[in-house]
Amino acid sequence: MVNNSGIVIFVFIAGMIGIVSGFLVANYSMSYAYNKGFEKYNIEDGNFELAFKADKNLTDALEKEGVTIYENFYIEKDIKENGSTLRIFKNRNEVNKACLMKGNFPENDNQIAIDRMYADNNKLSVGDTLTIEGKALEISGLVALSDYSALYSSPSDLMFDSIKFGVAVVNDSKFESLENNHLHLSYSWKYDDPPADKIQAKEMSEDLVSVISNKALILNFIPEYINQAIIFVGDDINKDSIMFTVFLYLVMSIIAFVFAIMTSNTISKEANVIGTLRASGYSKGELVRHYLTMPMVVVLVAALTGNILGYTIIKNYIADMYYGTYSIPTYVTLWNADAFVNTTIVPLILMFLINLIVLENKLTLSPLKFIKRDLKRHQKKKALKLNTKIGIMKRFRIRIILQNIPNYITIFIGIFLANVILLFGIGLSPLIEHYQDEITSNMICDYQYILKTPAETKTKNAEKYSADSLKTTDSRYKKEDVSIYGIIPDSKYIDIDFGNGVYISNAFSEKYGINKGDTVTLKDEYENKEYSFDVDGVYFYPSAIAVFMDNKAFCQEFGKDDQYFNGYFSNEEIKDVDDTYIATTITLDDMTKTSRQLKVSMGSIMSLFVGFGIIMFILIIYLLSKIIIEKNAQSISMTKILGYKGSEISGLYVLSTAIVVILSVLITIPICNSMISYLFKIIFSSYSGWFPYYIPFTVFIKMAAMGIGAYAAVAVCQMARINHISKSDALKNAE
């Protein structure tokens, strides 16, 4: 079995194990650095933002609760050079410390240290300058802030944004000199006695928010265990590790079956020799060990080669992918025993067990049966009768397919797995672009302003609205923010004719399965109060989980004056409202952060999946179609003696496999689409917001074309193999 097929399988297994090994090693090393960071950088147990500075009354109350709070104030500034926003902190020395990746921390008022990933995505480096408040600041260093390992600007965001949003630190005197119109009075807390698990953390945070809300006006409250900026990386790394490990097991199982089929075919060709050896006294166990040796050696050497590649070249590539997505502290490569077990021991076990079962079954026949080449376990049954009206060549092809069903089933499974990989690689980019198009074409307006307190404007076409935020109560999903909009009658921006109930966004409807006529219950966690709304309809607004209601109903529901408002819709930038009154401005950049970040994060892995899917597709079809031709070599030789041309014979054997391949491609594509659609909904249901699943029909056409094209290349090789089969083969091993 040391032939071209064995070499091809060796290269494939070594490459696949190299990718998975490199991934698991980088994953484990990154995970270790991330987890150690909680202690090393003293990461907070949570943070809250107040409308006014905390007084002694509040700090004393928190101390009695066993909590220490730290000022973690920040200012957000627009950066002229790239149109992004920087969240600027003092260089913190007690809690949420920063990891210096390159350069130095700011030493004077003319320097700033920025997040390393934000710098990479905006092509900034140490020594460059950024203009803040009209003054150029030198970038003294690149850092990773321990409480911003994923650059979420808001906990309600569906995805972080490392392109248009970044974090930075300056020295104390520079921070004090910055205009503080947008000073966020954020406080971090640490428990004196940390919670044992998430359940206890939830209970402790609920007690804490009750204490704070009784003594101060809370604008935001985020416990560490739900803070996506902190926990997203840890959760994602764990999911990635499981996904790649399961993927390796699936692929290795298929490769083991292919090896088993190849071995079974070899036994059929060597039946006379095996029968003679058995009759001469060789035991079944000796033959099993002989035929097991080569698959095990191939997998062992391939696994060791793959691990060497994984720990050297591929590990660095995977690490760069992680660093291109997350702001993780500097890591050191660590030996990962689990990675070795998953990429070496488990594949060896799978190969051993699957091939052992096939060999034990195949070699239980008597020596006489092997000598007579009668390898059927049961008495030969009457062949399936085919309609004589079917042409002889078509009947011949049907017979070939029926005789090779095990091989074709394996081809079907291989094509299914390859199409899953291909669909993910090819379909993700148009899915992201469609989401971005939906967001941009269905924005309420170009500028949404949320005010700290009502303020008048003379901006033309600016429209008042009211806004608040509540939490979901559906126990199937994690709690997330729901934006509540109070809309004035005859709005120019929201075309809804309100009745007694509310309208919800289509994102809300699709994610939670809420439709017209249902009742939705939401909760104000700060006041521990629930609100129930009757749903009168669904409004197409894919950008957010939102509820729209008449402004008068909003004011009555939330106890506001009839003339209350705290926001503006506008297609023009409002310039006559002082910045001190503006809490948040939502623009196109804010709406499209998810699609931007996914393109950056997933760009390199999409091409990897496409390449791997095609290679796997070709490998499975090539090996199994080669086995089918070798298995029928004697019949092919006989047809040549009978005068059939090579092209006619190819039309029988190659076309039979082509029919199975094309049917497999066409059948598996919709199955893959349904499966990924289901998995996609499960995965994104754990995120805030909603990301709809959409794959254009052109993607399926492209997948089918790639699959058929790949088989066309294989078919050329197999036709050449048929042409090389000699007529004399018909006289060999004749029964």
Amino acid identity, position 583 = A
Task: Kindly indicate the confidence band of residue 1, based on its pLDDT and cuts at 50, 70 and 90.
Answer: very low
Whether 729 has a pLDDT exceeding 70, the answer reads no
- pTM attached to this predicted model: 0.69
Pairing type for strands 529-539 and 502-505 reads: parallel
- Alpha helix (H) residue ranges in 685-696: none
CA separation, residue 733 to residues 268, 269, 333, 361, 730 (Å): 11, 9, 57, 23, 8
Taking the CA atoms of residue 121, residue 124, residue 125 and residue 130 in that order, the dihedral angle to the nearest 10 degrees is -140
The CA-based angle 531-537-539, given to 5 degrees, is 100
pLDDT higher for 364 or 554? 554
Joined together, the tokens standing for residue 198 give 């998430």
Q: What is the pLDDT of residues 485-494, one digit of tens each?
A: 999 999 999 9
**In which element (H, E) is residue 570 found?**
strand 567-570
* Residues in CB range of 690: below 8 A, 6 or more apart: 158, 507, 508, 510, 511, 542, 545, 684
Please state the φ and ψ torsions of residue 54, each to the nearest 5 degrees: -65, 135
> How many whole angstroms separate alpha carbon 211 and alpha carbon 201?
15
Question: Which H/E stretch holds residue 136?
Answer: strand 135-145
Q: For residue 239, what are its two tokens? A: 């999911």
Overall average pLDDT of the 510-524 stretch: 91
pLDDT at 646: 66
Q: For residue 275, give the 3-state DSSP assignment.
A: helix
What percent of the residues of the chain are helix, what percent strand, and what percent coil, each to the nearest 5? Answer: 55, 15, 30
Q: Which residues contact 504 (CB under 8 A, 6 or more apart)?
A: 514, 520, 535, 538, 539, 546, 547, 548
Give the per-residue pLDDT at 156.
64
pLDDT interval class at 391 (50, 70, 90): low
Q: CA 504 to CA 185: how far, in whole Å?
A: 32
Element (H, E) at 235: helix 228-269
Query: Average model confidence (pLDDT) for the chain?
Result: 84
* Model pLDDT, residue 733: 53
Write the pLDDT tens digit of every residue in 28-73.
Answer: 888 888 888 888 999 999 999 998 889 988 988 998 889 999 999 9
pLDDT tens, position by position, 612-646: 778 877 877 777 777 777 766 777 777 777 777 76
Find residue 376's DSSP bridge partners. Answer: none
What are the tens digits of pLDDT across the range 197-244?
878 888 888 889 888 988 888 888 889 988 888 988 887 787 777 777
% of the chain beyond a pLDDT of 90: 24
Q: How many alpha carbons fall within 13 Å on the CB side of residue 184?
A: 23
Give 286's contacts (C-beta < 8 A, 6+ positions apart): none
123: Cβ–Cβ under 8 A, 6 or more apart, which residues? Answer: none
